[in-house]
């Protein structure tokens, strides 16, 4: 098939995913698989290879991410149960002052969002929104939007977060370098698009001040100060996987590859090993040292895995969709067509992810699908940095968080705001952040 017909097939496949998710309310994993079969049949992929291609796509994607997602879920649950998130919020609030509450919540989202998916992170941290808003004497919306935006930034840009790690693997990017460059993109983006926007654009008190007295979920119990873990040990525990992977990248660039110690560093610095070490350390720092016993840790661990089943299905189906796009020639055809346009490949990668997120409503689906489309562009243009392209995709997936995204409805319900208010706050905040992230990525591309 020629490039034009292949593009039409891709557009129809994306439309199928959108209609099935938005209108039919079908789970994203099923929608992606149906679209994958459609592409395979229309482009005449040999019938004997269709299921093998799908199976290999699922396996190659989940084979790397399953343990990472699972270990991240355990780490996030420990952070919640131990009161570590509350410790981080209270310490930063008292250190930097109530007048910087929007910045504090954004930084809290950046740190605490590392091990968990964005929706899970928001549910875990939203009780602190009410605590911080009450202490600072401002609207819960003013501090809640920076938190949600920061969680979205981490979700899309920073490994070892599963979505960011998935596209880094697809594009064969160095994960440690993605973390370093991702921090350079994430921090100014969430501070400008999240904190700065909320500080100046969102009123300090809502129009209906009666709503500001609303309480967080009843099951949340604020711990007293002596029950909380220390600030330093909590921060170190959450950042430990990032530190391990960044150290590995530094060593790879400074030490000879044939050294025995480098073989050990490569094993320890692998995302799976790094997160396993971090969870084991968290068992002690946030569990055993806080009075939990081994049976409690076992129950906590088992309870952490249930909520990630749907996430695994979506990521696996996304991998199958990408594999079919490649096998059918759709992805290479799109890359060939786009590479001839007088537009930077970085902007194209950002725009593809932005449009997919707007349409599908899942940043994870948008990122994985965009990575499959962008991958052939890297092969066609060896000068492109896979790390920069990974960040461009992540930056695009941040923006236009609206009614098709589950985070939009969670923010609306938990913060007790209307749909128009959520559009004026969360949607605008994430879109500004997405544009800032693109600008930072473009600046980094000059030096990388």
**pLDDT of res. 428:** 95
Long-range contacts of range 296-302, CB-CB < 8 Å, 24 or more positions apart? 300/74, 300/77, 300/78, 300/81, 301/74, 301/77
Q: How many domains does the chain have?
A: 1
Rounded Cα distance between 111 and 123, Å, is 15
- pLDDT over 70 (residue 216): no
**pLDDT of res. 221:** 56
**pLDDT of res. 406:** 72
Residue 138's pLDDT band, with cuts at 50, 70 and 90, is confident
Distances (CA, A) of 436 to 187, 194, 298, 395, 411: 10, 11, 42, 8, 22
**pLDDT of res. 387:** 95
**pLDDT of res. 391:** 97
Rounded Cα distance between 182 and 164, Å, is 10
**pLDDT of res. 214:** 44
- Which tens digits make up the pLDDT trace of 39-93? 999 988 898 899 999 999 888 778 767 887 788 778 878 887 888 877 887 888 8
Distances (CA, A) of 381 to 240, 339, 384, 442: 35, 9, 6, 17
DSSP letter, residue 415: T
| Nearest alpha carbon to residue 44 among 304, 426, 363, 324 | 324
Identify the domain containing residue 183 by its residue range.
Answer: 3-447
Mean pLDDT of the chain: 84
Residue 173's pLDDT band, with cuts at 50, 70 and 90, is very high
Residue 333's pLDDT band, with cuts at 50, 70 and 90, is confident
Rounded Cα distance between 141 and 129, Å, is 8
- pLDDT over 70 (residue 286): yes
- pLDDT over 60 (residue 97): yes
Provide the 10 A C-beta neighbour count for residue 270.
17
Q: In this prediction, what percent of the chain has a pLDDT beyond 70?
A: 92
Residue 284's pLDDT band, with cuts at 50, 70 and 90, is very high
- Which tens digits make up the pLDDT trace of 404-437? 677 887 788 778 888 888 889 999 999 999 999 9
């Amino acid at each position: 098939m020629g490039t034009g017909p292949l593009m039409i097939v891709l557009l129809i496949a994306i439309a199928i995913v959108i209609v099935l998710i938005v209108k039919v309310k079908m789970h994203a994993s099923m929608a992606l698989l149906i679209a994958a079969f459609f592409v395979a049949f229309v482009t005449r992929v040999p019938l004997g290879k269709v299921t093998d291609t799908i199976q290999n796509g699922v396996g190659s994607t989940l084979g790397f991410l399953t343990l990472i997602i699972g270990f991240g879920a355990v780490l996030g649950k420990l952070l919640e149960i131990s009161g570590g998130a509350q410790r981080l919020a209270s310490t930063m609030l008292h250190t930097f002052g109530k007048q910087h509450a929007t910045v504090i919540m954004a930084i809290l989202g950046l740190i605490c969002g590392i091990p968990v998916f964005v929706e899970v992170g928001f549910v875990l941290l939203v009780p602190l929104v009410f605590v911080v808003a009450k202490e600072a004497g401002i609207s819960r919306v003013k501090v809640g939007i920076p938190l949600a935006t920061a969680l979205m930034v981490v979700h899309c840009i920073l490994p070892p977060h599963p979505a960011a790690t998935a596209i880094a693997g697809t594009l064969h990017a160095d994960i440690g370098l993605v973390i370093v460059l991702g921090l350079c993109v994430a921090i100014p983006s969430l501070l400008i698009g999240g904190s700065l926007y909320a500080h100046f654009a969102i009123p300090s008190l809502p129009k209906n001040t009666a709503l500001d007295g609303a309480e967080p979920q009843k099951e949340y119990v604020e711990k007293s100060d002596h029950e909380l873990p220390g600030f330093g040990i909590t921060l170190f525990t959450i950042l430990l996987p990032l530190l391990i992977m960044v150290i590995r990248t530094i060593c790879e660039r400074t030490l000879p590859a044939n050294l025995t110690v480098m073989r050990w560093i490569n094993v320890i610095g692998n995302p799976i090993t790094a997160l396993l070490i971090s969870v084991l350390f968290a068992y002690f720092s946030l569990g055993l040292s806080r009075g939990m016993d081994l049976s409690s840790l076992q129950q906590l661990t088992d309870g952490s895995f249930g909520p990630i089943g749907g996430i695994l299905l979506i990521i696996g189906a996304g991998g199958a969709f990408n594999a079919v796009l490649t096998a059918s020639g759709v992805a290479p055809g799109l890359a060939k067509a786009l590479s001839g346009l007088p537009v930077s490949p970085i902007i194209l990668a950002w725009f593809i992810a932005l449009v997919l997120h707007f349409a599908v409503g899942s940043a994870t689906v948008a990122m994985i699908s965009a990575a499959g489309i962008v991958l052939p562009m890297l092969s066609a243009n060896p000068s492109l940095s896979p790390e920069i392209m990974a960040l461009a995709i992540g930056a695009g997936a941040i923006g236009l968080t609206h009614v098709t995204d589950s985070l939009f409805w969670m923010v609306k319900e938990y913060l007790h705001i209307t749909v128009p208010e959520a559009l004026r706050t969360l949607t605008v905040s994430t879109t500004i952040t997405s544009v800032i992230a693109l600008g930072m990525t473009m600046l980094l591309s000059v030096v990388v």
